[in-house]
């Protein structure tokens, strides 16, 4: 008799295929779940394989549009970034996938969910915290943290033996000496030979983005329109056809940014980062579309966002949102709170940015706005005397100087010299 | 009879030459002061011109080494950046220059200082707040904020007429349609045709950094060693001589980084920024050396800096230091306080970063450390079970989940659905 | 011929009466404006006096209810406090008054507004920044910053002479040796003999709150109900009638809290604070109602607010809102932004707090909630094993310890001892 | 044969006596360790009991002076407070005790340490994180998280039975219906009948501080001198002898503050707080000395600390230090970093505060400083025109207004009305 239904996040690879078979062995029925978040994947083959192994059902949810509209574009609005450079490509996909998986679990009457994440990474946390928020009574079956599983499958050979025994087909291609995770926003590479942080990644590791050294000699210009901080139109001239192309649907805008950035060598990084569970790890990422969109968005904020609003948002909302996303805390009270702070900062972020992509560079060519008036060239011009009087600045400085003069005098009184 | 001695920040250009003459007209004696902060300048010609106009003395102070050691390297340590992209090249030079000017004012017995900054910019504030801290009783004579001056010299023609009348030599080269400020860390371009933020700067505006499109096809690799966050050695192979070059003195390291970055198209930006006095202005900057050094430093912190220390420093010290520097508040109690927080964050930032420069890109090739042990490839490896048990993570997640489950349950109770 | 209409913030006192007459002398028509923000005031007498001096109209706006609902209750929600102890009584009234004054100015066709604030205080800034936001083209006539006024009226005698000359009636009571500002939230005392920060205020200075030493021996208990962080009901037993009294309208709740606190010696403070314009000043405040409501609100948040939401709100929203209010920046983009963050933090702040007032003390007797479940006595009980396993905590600690052990090891390796 | 030596944190109570006997049962030798942190305790009786049960050694370390100098006074300097009201009395003692315990463990050759903390509280974390930093290779034996222990001793009766069996003497006094933890800074009450957060604590629960309703009718005045933020002298008139008493040694100052505050009803709180492990719990605390010292220190900072330094310290150092202390993270890189920020903020905090204690109130009577000049009564006086010109403020406001006017205009253009 079945011990109940489990919804397993299935990838089609060796690990989750073994887990599928093992869960069946334990007496569970298994619904194999996949999310389409824009990764390169043979979904049909995965379906066939899951059913062949014994899944009672295979469900693939197309999350690509929700991913862009609900997650990726808000990340652009808030300029999300972790530890200076990582644009959170993997982390951002997790809430979308977890939500879809719980939806499937509910529809299919599963009492439990399962995944193939290891016990040392961030993803297990990102998935499980989301699961518990979305369905507090769900049970999480996490084989790589269960001694009866991880002790049995201590090495790759144990997995292969079990696969052979269960008749699970295994790809004949040799396993790459690193792990990857891909979605439409990025691909990550980690582990294996990358564990030495001084090893330069081999040229053939990089999959999505053209090597800057191989990118076209001709720059690619594009124009991005934003409304309330959201990219609403992307326009460019196709270098082959010389035709102007313009897209406006969120997914189309995102994919166009992705294609152009990938083709021009834009968006590779290589870092050592801090995992939520207090380990440092080395990761290489290709994050083409977010690199372009974020940079254009930051630039437009310079033109259209109030200085103090920007400073408050930068000092608090951006780093906290980024940290929470990285730590898998999307579905938490604090992230709901921080998310509520994104849109109110973006009301004035309306305008157009002209961008050039060239061999890895994102070069801002110019920006403009029809509706916002914060930038006033006349006023800031050194040659003009409108707006306020130079003597006003004298008063401004005098008020600041009250405190500063006391500081200088106090140093003098105490015999301390002010030095650089 | 003299109304007393004034120490004037003299540039050799039209504005400060007219100010010099005008101050003499007002009955002051004038000491012409220049700071060598690494800008391209004919100091001898400036001296000759100042004395010819009537300065009682000309003093040029070589600040290049102090600038690197006391200001630029700490800025690298703290990853200073204003509004996401501006590395503060002009702002960082101001405290050095102001300190040197006040030192000269004291030595020469000047009761006042003067400068040629306009009344709408940041620099007037940066200079004057520094002056007041360093010498609280100093008088600041600021012609461009004094009606008797700015009403008399309302246009460039008025300046030229006065110069002719006073026999002040004027350069025959046509004035560029923008203003610049240069030092060894950067050059800025603003005003003039740049006041339209949608005007792409002309190719011939950029002076210091090779256009990425004209940069060498062969990448330039270099290696930077850091001790306690300070760059202590820079090594590279000269592409012409094929010889390995290694420099260790702070100024040499800084200039080598500068030369390599300039030659490879690294460090140009174009932004609209928020001035301290609440105006937005457009600026283009060439910030070659800081771009390379900062990026390498950030990378090494990934390998060697504790996660929580980094997060605290990033969220507080870096943005506040950057803001204070931008706002000309170097010599203030709060900046002294914030500066005291830089070094204690850097004790573990020891190691080496390998960097590639290529047509505008700064690419990290790898990083290593001999002394720090925070990164442990075995421990973070997904394939290893050392360090802690996978079951520990289960406990970690369970503790986090206490709050999260309550959140999910509360939403359910209140009939609110959790959505993306 | 009139130079146009000016809306003057009129208090009925000597200063603004002189200003009124002086504005008329300058050729303006003057609309005398008063706001009723709950201060003790003879509005009829003020009206009569203004019209007698020559105001073309007198308008008094009753702002008491808006003040509570739009300003004071949100301040309670966000636990507003400046420099640890000041509950911002004066500052909070300023946006209400400024809004009412501009409304009157618009209705009456005034091109300008005027006030009697001095040139060294916060209030001038609070009023004028609000005026400029609410009516960007308004002209501010600020006599105490205009040399033609402040040089003419250099001392109190000059004001009295001018009043006599203009037939302005002057109160025969001797001026108190300090200044006050009163509204329903508080009264402030500053200047005069209080300028020596070591002078204890005389017992008879305090006007609104009973001296704790004279307060009743019998404590006063009350109960406050909150919904989404707003006080919605206040219940207490009248000590004289022994009848239970219950009020629910915002203004009634606020006034009941005020009366009870005042009667029981609650809410006096005496501080040296930092004005916006970089001066320190000494102020004594009686802030009875906010003291009680804020303390009860903070207590209820302990029971009902998520830990992380609270920490984020405390670290960012509360201090920034308080600073902006103090600095007169209510009508600014950044304060609009920060205000948008108050309500989303309060959704779960529902419940009841029982409070005891006794001779200056606000003692929490207990708190409860019917709707929120964050507090679960069973779960946190040391005697229960529900909710999570003790072994989970072991995992939680093990994950935290990864970083900590490395820290200890690194210290040991570097020969540095860990000390207190 | 012994399985090795364990250093057990021993209290003399039932729990740790049972643990001691149980550890012996498991084959360990046990060194019983106590720290004297100022709690009321019969150390001799505890020693006798431990040795009787079978400890191979009993070591009591007197930590009282270090506790004041290294921990409590810095907490006063930084105004440490958790969730608005809790002055961290228990948390602050933990690093001192853990350090002493590890020192004893090292001296006595113990491979492991043990404690009697439960698995749901903060203290287990505070101790163990400290242990791991101070001795990374130490083993922690935590019976209340070990199934073989907590399943065996599921109720108090099991403990009593085991005690009887082992001949462990048990106090005949009935156990109180709450738990306490005491040191010289405070006592905590939690659990038992306090688990209902709406239950007012019984009058006889409170042990250290006189009930405000029973406190003397005569107020107690005292004077505290601070140097660099540290209390260096406390002076008061003994109300019985009418003699002036003055103490200067850190421990004496602390105890005098404690005695006076306790006698005058100062320092009780009752809250629901957030534990580190994401549970809410209710605690009542008597925190007499810190209440007085912190309030006096905050007051003196108003007079002597630069506004911007204070704001930076308040927004960052104080909350982070408090959070880290609460979470048991004293011996961590981040706390070492934050601790380094305390002293540099205190250089100017020199002066004297006069304080009145009266039936639960701490009333500031006045403050003064001989060395600091930030407060200048003349300058801030509304009646004086020194220091800066009223017209300077006009310029200051004009510069602020640039942005504000644009905000008002933009709202108007977009048809949005500015409201309260």
Pairing mode, strands D186-190 and D280-286: antiparallel
Beta bridge partners of C179: C190
Q: Is B315 annotated as a binding residue?
A: no
Q: In this structure, are residues C163 and C136 in contact, taking their beta carbons and an 8 Å threshold?
A: no
Q: How far is B134 from chain A (nearest CA, A)?
A: 6
Q: In this structure, are residues D339 and D329 in contact, taking their beta carbons and an 8 Å threshold?
A: no
Structure tokens at C336: 């609009």
How many Å apart are CA D343 and CA B181, to the nearest integer?
A: 39
How many Å apart are CA B55 and CA B59, to the nearest integer?
A: 10
Q: Binding site: what residues of A are annotated?
A: 9-17, 35, 86, 91, 114-123, 126, 179, 188, 273, 285
Residue B358: partners with Cβ closer than 8 Å, 6 or more residues away: A212, A213, A359, A360, B215, B219, B220, B264
User: In chain B, which residue's Cα lies nearest the Cα of A118?
Assistant: B382
Q: With contacts defined as CB-CB under 8 Å, which chain B residues touch A179?
A: 382
Q: With contacts defined as CB-CB under 8 Å, which chain C residues touch A339?
A: none
Is C15 annotated in the active site? yes
Which residues in chain D land under pLDDT 70? Answer: 380-388
Q: Give the number of C-alpha atoms closer than 13 A to the C-alpha of residue D215, restricted to the C-beta side.
A: 27
Annotated catalytic residue within C15, C181, C225, C299: C15
Q: In this structure, are residues B319 and A312 in contact, taking their beta carbons and an 8 Å threshold?
A: no
B373 to chain C, any CB pair closer than 8 A? The answer is yes
Residue D174 pLDDT: 78
Of B278, B316, B338, the CB nearest to D400: B278
Q: With contacts defined as CB-CB under 8 Å, which chain D residues touch C363?
A: 212, 268, 270, 360
Give the tens place of pLDDT for each residue, D306-320: 999 999 999 999 999
Residue A376 pLDDT: 87
Q: How far is D250 from chain C (nearest CA, A)?
A: 16
Helix (H, G, I), strand (E, B) or coil at D366: strand
Residue B156 pLDDT: 87
B311 to chain A, any CB pair closer than 8 A? The answer is yes
Q: Find, among C336, A301, C322, A309, the residue nearest to D411 by Cα.
A: C336
Strand ranges (E), D228-377: 230-237, 244-247, 268-274, 280-286, 351-358, 361-368
Of D66, D79, D120, the CB nearest to C420: D66
Question: What's the whole-number mean pLDDT along residues C94-118?
Answer: 97
Residue B215: partners with Cβ closer than 8 Å, 6 or more residues away: B263, B264, B265, B358, B359, B360
How many Å apart are CA A351 and CA A229, to the nearest integer?
A: 9
How many Å apart are CA A38 and CA D381, to the nearest integer?
A: 67
Of D391, D402, D409, the CB nearest to A387: D402
Residue C321 has pLDDT above 60, yes or no: yes
Helix (H, G, I), strand (E, B) or coil at A217: coil
CB-based contact A407 B195, cutoff 8 Å:
no
Which of the residue ranges A25-34, B318-327, B340-349, C155-164 would you say has the lowest mean pLDDT? C155-164
CB-based contact B406 C308, cutoff 8 Å:
no
Give the tens place of pLDDT for each residue, D27-64: 999 999 999 999 999 999 999 999 999 999 999 999 99
Residue D57 pLDDT: 98
Q: Is C360 annotated as a binding residue?
A: no
Q: With contacts defined as CB-CB under 8 Å, which chain C residues touch B274?
A: none
Q: With contacts defined as CB-CB under 8 Å, which chain D residues touch C99?
A: 419-420
Q: DSSP letters of A139-207?
A: EEE-GGG-HHHHTTT-SHHHHHHHHHHHT-----SPPPSSEEEEETTEEEEESGGGGSTTSPPPTTT--
Annotated catalytic residue within A179, A275, A306, A356: A179
Pairing mode, strands B351-358 and B29-36: unpaired
* Residue pairs between chains B and D whose CB atoms are closer than 8 Å: 55
Q: Is C310 annotated as a binding residue?
A: no
CB-based contact A124 B379, cutoff 8 Å:
no
Helix (H, G, I), strand (E, B) or coil at D64: helix
Residue C384 pLDDT: 57
Pairing mode, strands C29-36 and C5-9: parallel
Which of the residue ranges A195-209, B380-394, C349-363, D261-275 would you say has the lowest mean pLDDT? B380-394
Of B277, B400, B402, the CB nearest to D399: B277
How many Å apart are CA B334 and CA D341, to the nearest integer?
A: 12
Region of residue D191 (left: phi > 0; alpha: psi -120 to 50; beta: else): left
How many Å apart are CA B317 and CA B341, to the nearest integer?
A: 7
Three-state helix/strand/coil letters over A43-96: HHHHHHHHHHHCCCEEEEEECHHHHHHHHHHHHHHCCCCECCCECCHHHHHHHH
Phi, psi of B357 (to 5 degrees): -105, 130
Structure tokens at C160: 């009295």
CB-based contact C399 B406, cutoff 8 Å:
no
Residue A1 pLDDT: 72
Q: In this structure, are residues B33 and B59 in contact, taking their beta carbons and an 8 Å threshold?
A: yes
Residue C160 pLDDT: 94
- Percentage of residues of chain A with pLDDT beyond 90: 85
Q: Give the number of C-alpha atoms closer than 13 A to the C-alpha of residue C370, restricted to the C-beta side.
A: 4
Is A179 annotated in the active site? yes
Question: What's the whole-number mean pLDDT along residues A101-113?
Answer: 98
Q: With contacts defined as CB-CB under 8 Å, which chain D residues touch C302?
A: 83, 271-274, 280
How many Å apart are CA B62 and CA D167, to the nearest integer?
A: 83
Residue A416: partners with Cβ closer than 8 Å, 6 or more residues away: none
Residue A387 pLDDT: 61
Domains of chain B: 5-62+89-175 (3.40.50.620), 180-305+348-368 (3.90.1260.10), 377-413 (no CATH)
Give the tens place of pLDDT for each residue, A145-178: 999 999 999 888 999 999 999 999 887 777 789 9
Query: What is the 8-class DSSP label of residue C176?
Result: P
Is D179 annotated in the active site? yes
How many Å apart are CA B104 and CA B119, to the nearest integer?
A: 24
User: In chain D, which residue's Cα lies nearest the Cα of C368?
Assistant: D198
Strand order in the sheet with C179-183: C179-183, C186-190, C280-286, C268-274
Question: What's the whole-number mean pLDDT along residues A263-289?
Answer: 96
Residue C379 has pLDDT above 80, yes or no: no
How many Å apart are CA A71 and CA A184, to the nearest integer?
A: 12
Q: Find, among C148, C111, C146, the residue nearest to C131 by Cα.
A: C111
- Which residues of B are known to be catalytic? 15, 94, 123, 179
Give the mean pLDDT of chain A. Answer: 94
| Chain D partners (3+ C-beta pairs within 8 A) | A, B, C
Quickly count: other Cβ atoms within 10 Å of residue B407's Cβ. Answer: 25
Region of residue C46 (left: phi > 0; alpha: psi -120 to 50; beta: else): alpha
Residue B230: partners with Cβ closer than 8 Å, 6 or more residues away: B73, B76, B77, B250, B346
Query: Within chain B, what is the greatest distance between any pair of CA atoms?
Result: 87
* A309-346 per-residue burial string, b: 16 or more CB within 10 A, e: under 16: bbbbbbbbbbbbbbbbbbbbbbbbbbbbbbbebbebbb
Residue C308 has pLDDT above 80, yes or no: yes
Q: Find, among D353, D377, D352, D351, the residue nearest to D364 by Cα.
A: D353
Of B388, B394, B410, the CB nearest to C402: B388
How many Å apart are CA B214 and CA B264, to the nearest integer?
A: 9
B148 to chain D, any CB pair closer than 8 A? The answer is no
Residue D383 pLDDT: 58
CB-based contact C400 A334, cutoff 8 Å:
no
Of D298, D314, D390, the CB nearest to C119: D390
D303 to chain C, any CB pair closer than 8 A? The answer is yes
How many Å apart are CA D49 and CA D58, to the nearest integer?
A: 10
One pLDDT digit (tens) per residue for chain B, 420 residues: 789 999 999 999 999 999 999 999 999 999 999 999 999 999 999 999 999 999 999 999 999 999 999 999 999 999 999 999 999 999 999 999 999 999 999 999 999 999 999 988 999 999 999 999 999 999 999 999 999 999 999 888 999 999 999 999 887 777 789 999 999 999 999 999 999 999 999 999 999 999 999 999 999 999 999 999 999 999 999 988 999 999 999 999 999 999 999 999 999 999 999 999 899 999 999 999 999 999 999 999 999 999 999 999 999 999 999 999 999 999 999 999 999 999 999 999 999 999 999 999 999 999 999 999 999 887 766 555 556 677 888 889 888 888 888 888 888 898 888 888
Is C103 annotated in the active site? no
Q: Is C330 annotated as a binding residue?
A: no
How many Å apart are CA C248 and CA A147, to the nearest integer?
A: 59
Q: In this structure, are residues D390 and C144 in contact, taking their beta carbons and an 8 Å threshold?
A: yes
Beta bridge partners of D223: D235, D354
Helix (H, G, I), strand (E, B) or coil at B211: coil
């Amino acid at each position: 008799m079945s011990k109940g239904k489990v919804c397993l996040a299935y990838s089609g690879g060796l690990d989750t295929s073994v887990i599928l078979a093992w869960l069946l062995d334990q007496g569970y029925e298994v619904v194999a779940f996949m999310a389409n978040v824009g990764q390169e994947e043979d979904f049909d083959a995965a379906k066939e394989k899951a059913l062949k192994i014994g899944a009672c059902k295979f469900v693939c949810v197309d999350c690509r549009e929700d991913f862009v509209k609900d997650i990726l574009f808000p990340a652009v609005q808030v300029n999300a970034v972790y530890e200076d450079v990582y644009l959170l490509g993997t982390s951002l996909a997790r809430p979308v996938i977890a939500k879809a998986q719980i939806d499937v679990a509910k529809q299919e009457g599963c009492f439990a969910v399962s995944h193939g994440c290891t016990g040392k990474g961030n993803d297990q946390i990102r998935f499980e915290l989301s699961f518990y928020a979305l369905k507090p009574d769900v049970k999480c079956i996490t084989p790589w943290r269960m001694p009866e599983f991880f002790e049995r499958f201590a090495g790759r050979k144990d997995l292969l033996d079990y696969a052979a025994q269960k008749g699970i087909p295994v790809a004949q291609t040799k396993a790459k000496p690193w792990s990857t995770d891909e979605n439409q926003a990025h691909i990550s590479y980690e582990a294996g030979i990358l564990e030495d942080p001084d090893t330069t990644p081999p040229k053939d590791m990089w999959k999505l983005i053209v090597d800057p050294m191989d990118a076209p000699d001709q720059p690619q210009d594009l124009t991005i329109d934003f409304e309330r901080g959201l990219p609403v139109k992307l326009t460019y001239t196709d270098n082959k056809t010389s035709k102007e192309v313009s897209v406006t649907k969120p997914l189309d805008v995102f994919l166009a940014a992705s294609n152009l950035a990938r083709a021009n060598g834009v968006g590779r990084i290589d870092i050592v980062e801090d995992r939520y569970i207090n380990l440092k790890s080395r990761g290489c990422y290709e994050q083409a579309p977010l690199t372009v969109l974020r940079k254009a968005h930051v630039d437009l904020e310079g033109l259209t966002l109030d200085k103090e609003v920007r400073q408050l948002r930068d000092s608090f909302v951006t780093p906290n949102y980024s940290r929470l996303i990285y730590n898998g805390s999307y579905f938490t009270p604090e992230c709901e709170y921080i998310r509520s702070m994104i849109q109110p900062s973006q009301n004035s972020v309306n305008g157009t940015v002209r961008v050039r992509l060239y061999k890895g560079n994102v070069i801002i060519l110019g920006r403009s706005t029809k509706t916002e008036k914060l930038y006033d060239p006349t006023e800031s011009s050194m040659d003009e005397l409108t707006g306020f009087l130079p003597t006003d600045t004298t008063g401004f400085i005098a008020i600041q100087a009250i405190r500063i003069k006391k500081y200088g005098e106090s140093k003098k009184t105490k015999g301390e010299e002010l030095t650089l």
